[in-house]
Structure 1
Amino acid sequence: MADSDDGSPRPPTMADIAAHLGVSRQLVSLVMRDAPGASKETRRRVREAAEELGFRPHIGASSLRRARSMDLGVVFAPAHSTEPEIIEHIYPAAAALGYNVILSAQTATRSTNQAAEELLGHRCAALIAIGPDHEILRAVAQRSPVPVVGVGSGRRNPYYDFVRSEGDKGIAKAVTHLVELGHQQIVYVDPAAMPSAALRRRGYERTMSRLGLATDVLDMTGDYTKGDYFEEVGSAAARSLLQRGSLPTAVVAPNDNTAVGLLQILCRNGVRVPEDVSITGFDDAPIARLSSVDLTTVRQDPELMGVAAVDAAVRRVKDTELKPGGTVVETSLVVRGSTAAPFEPR
């Protein structure tokens, strides 16, 4: 750490590196920018000196000097457990194409619009928004001077690209799995405020109809922006089922956290899972993989979704004439310990 004129510490600069080595600042700048014109030995010495002095490039200043932004802005909701997993794969996908990633969070006190405006203020080349519904995405895209990609839901439209999993087919896989185990009384919990709710519900209704079984849907309301929305939906659904004269043999939830909320309330009331009621989720979120939960679920691959989002954003940045498109990622059934054949008392 160098000292300022008044003796207080300040971050080291390229001028400090130049003085330390006895070379020009222009040569240090050339090395730090990976520009041609310096020998291999000089580059080694400059980088070693930079590390020794604790020099860190000013990324914001470097971005402003570029004629074209190489930053991708990502809006996400930290409260939703699957979104950080998608971001984990956005970083390497962006880096592979030469882009940086800037995050902006949507919370209970901060809207998607506010998060997006902050990223636009950073002159991002494109925006990737994880989670918002179609109306919010359309509003953001209509105001945005750069391409917008929605992740998690969406349909073909002239405003933004979308990346989502095959939610209807994924739910169909869960229902088919339960029916193959011998279940016929299968309840579906519908967290209606979830952006992908309608698509996943259609998967349940169509599969039940195709198999000749009666549908049984619990319509659950609530505020999607709240961090405990999904768990509370599952808890409320469980309490509703417990008030019935008899329980179904299986319940399908279109979200893992909803399934966990359901499981906890049922177990606290003496219902055995899967002996009395089988439960399935959707996402394969970290909580579903815990040995204490061991949830049968439908996996939507966060790596595939993250990579697809970056590819869509960069494709639109490089070709401004390209129209918005969509990517649908395949799902797979992950069978764990929360499902079994219906219990038959002897």
Structure 2
Amino acid sequence: MDEVGSARGRNGTNRRPRLEDVAARVGVSTASVSLVLRGVPGPSERTRQRVLAAAAELGYQADRTASLLASRRTRLLGVMVDIHSPFHAELVEHLHTAAEQVGYDLVLSTQTRTRDEHTAVETLLAFRSEALILLGPTAPADTLAALDGKAPVIVVGRRIADAKLDVVRTADDEGVGQIVDHLVERGHRAIAYIDGGKGVIATDRRRGYRTAMRRHGLDAHIRVLHGDHTEAAGERAARHLLDGADLPTAVVAFNDQSAIGVLAALSRAGVDVPGEVSVAGYDDDTLSRLSCFNLTTVSQGAEEQARYAVSAAVERLDQDRTEPREVVLTPHLVVRGTVAEPA
């Protein structure tokens, strides 16, 4: 039997030990017990030791929810996350760490194929999240600005023109440009790009590809294929390339998931990567690092983005910062085994 169970047995009840039980065991007021457990000066050292010993013996644990409600603070940061995104999963892990370091916790609300952003955000507000950290939202900027009137909003991963709220992101166009620069340095000219569909993030990465190709005088080789953020889209685009007359020597995909779809389609067709076609993605998510993929990609700095996002939330909540702020981080190329010089 564990300590809590033992304490309950000794008390002759099945309820959780309360502050009053600790006070009764020591023979002091509940106020004194509260001061000791919160580390507030006042009670004598002898009283403090007796309270701590009694709390341990009884298996008493502070009711965090009740204390937060009493202070009218929840210290919860609401996070909207796309359940299908490995990169978002990594961001959430780092957000947890950053939040715990400053005394906050997270509430997660998922965005799925059948659950839209509005529903996810309303759930976060219903749980009394003090600030909202939205990962790659697609809602219009004015909608996000209006939401900021209900709770501080920190947008992660997306550029917002004339932002009236906090934004933490990387320079997506620059990141794709780094991939194209690297491929050109290796001797590639016929470089195709698989698009990410609608939205600001997709627009920025597409622009980065076109700008870099033109910078290298490769206007005639610009080729953008329809796609989205899924492996299936990468496979479809790769099959389209395989059905064409000439394969490009390199393919850049909107994200790592799409790039993995490209790798799967090329493998089934017997096309060697990187011997015949080089492939690169974007995000540096956990799948890209697996030895079976070993994907060349671009890192967005998930840990750094998470740290800045939590810091922005805390500044809005605890330091009364009202002016919006945009943090733009520089992405960096991660070279692995799917890129080589063209045959």
Q: Could you tell me the TM-score, scaled by structure 2's length?
A: 0.88
Is residue 142 from structure 1 mapped to residue 149 from structure 2 by the alignment? Answer: no
Show the counterpart of 1:190: 195
Q: Structure 1 vs Structure 2: percent identity of aligned residues?
A: 43
Show the counterpart of 1:37: 42
Quick check: 2:117–2:139 contact (8 Å CA) kept in 1?
no
Give distance in 1, aligned partners of 2:51 and 2:119.
41
- The structural deviation recorded for 1:44 is 4.9
Q: Deviations over 1:139-191 (max 9, x none)?
A: 24414422101111132445421111111111011001111111100000002
Give distance in 2, aligned partners of 1:39 and 1:110.
55
How many residues are treated as equivalent by the alignment?
333
Show the counterpart of 1:216: 223
Correspondence for 2:170 among 165, 168, 173: 165
Show the counterpart of 2:209: 204
Show the counterpart of 1:120: 125
**Structure 1 stretch displaced more, 291-300 or 53-62:** 53-62
What amino acid maps onto 1:296 in structure 2? T
What amino acid maps onto 2:291 in structure 1? S
Give distance in 2, aligned partners of 1:28 and 1:14.
7
- The structural deviation recorded for 1:201 is 0.7
Is residue 243 from structure 1 mapped to residue 243 from structure 2 by the alignment? Answer: yes
The alpha-carbon distance between structure 1 residues 53 and 3, as it changes in their structure 2 partners (threshold 3 A), is: closer
Quick check: 1:134–1:154 contact (8 Å CA) kept in 2?
no
Quick check: 1:156–1:325 contact (8 Å CA) kept in 2?
no
Correspondence for 1:83 among 63, 83, 88: 88
Is residue 28 from structure 1 mapped to residue 33 from structure 2 by the alignment? Answer: yes
Is residue 290 from structure 1 mapped to residue 290 from structure 2 by the alignment? Answer: yes
The alpha-carbon distance between structure 1 residues 247 and 90, as it changes in their structure 2 partners (threshold 3 A), is: same
- The structural deviation recorded for 1:46 is 3.8
1:46-65 maps to which residues of 2 (within 5 A)? 46-65=51-70
Q: Deviations over 1:54-111 (max 9, x none)?
A: 4333332222111445322212122211112212222232233333322222223332
Give distance in 1, aligned partners of 2:110 and 2:88.
11
Give distance in 2, aligned partners of 1:83 and 1:28.
42
The alpha-carbon distance between structure 1 residues 240 and 48, as it changes in their structure 2 partners (threshold 3 A), is: farther
Listed as ranges, the gaps of 5+ residues in structure 1 are 222-228
Quick check: 1:235–1:261 contact (8 Å CA) kept in 2?
yes
The alpha-carbon distance between structure 1 residues 109 and 20, as it changes in their structure 2 partners (threshold 3 A), is: farther
| Secondary structure at 2:80 match in 1 | strand
Is residue 14 from structure 1 mapped to residue 16 from structure 2 by the alignment? Answer: no
Listed as ranges, the gaps of 5+ residues in structure 2 are none
Is residue 261 from structure 1 mapped to residue 279 from structure 2 by the alignment? Answer: no
**Structure 1 stretch displaced more, 50-59 or 172-181:** 50-59
Show the counterpart of 1:301: 301
Quick check: 1:131–1:195 contact (8 Å CA) kept in 2?
no
- The structural deviation recorded for 1:260 is 0.6
1:264-275 maps to which residues of 2 (within 5 A)? 264-275=264-275
Show the counterpart of 1:311: 311
**Structure 1 stretch displaced more, 33-42 or 309-318:** 33-42
What amino acid maps onto 2:36 in structure 1? V
Give distance in 2, aligned partners of 1:170 and 1:330.
8
What amino acid maps onto 1:309 in structure 2? A
The alpha-carbon distance between structure 1 residues 160 and 310, as it changes in their structure 2 partners (threshold 3 A), is: same
**Structure 1 stretch displaced more, 288-297 or 307-316:** 307-316
**Structure 1 stretch displaced more, 281-290 or 54-63:** 54-63
Give distance in 1, aligned partners of 2:84 and 2:56.
37
Is residue 176 from structure 1 mapped to residue 181 from structure 2 by the alignment? Answer: yes
CA RMSD of aligned residues (A): 2.4
Is residue 94 from structure 1 mapped to residue 99 from structure 2 by the alignment? Answer: yes
Show the counterpart of 1:226: none
What amino acid maps onto 1:243 in structure 2? D
Q: Could you tell me the TM-score, scaled by structure 1's length?
A: 0.88
What amino acid maps onto 2:278 in structure 1? S
- The structural deviation recorded for 1:126 is 1.2
| Secondary structure at 2:230 match in 1 | helix
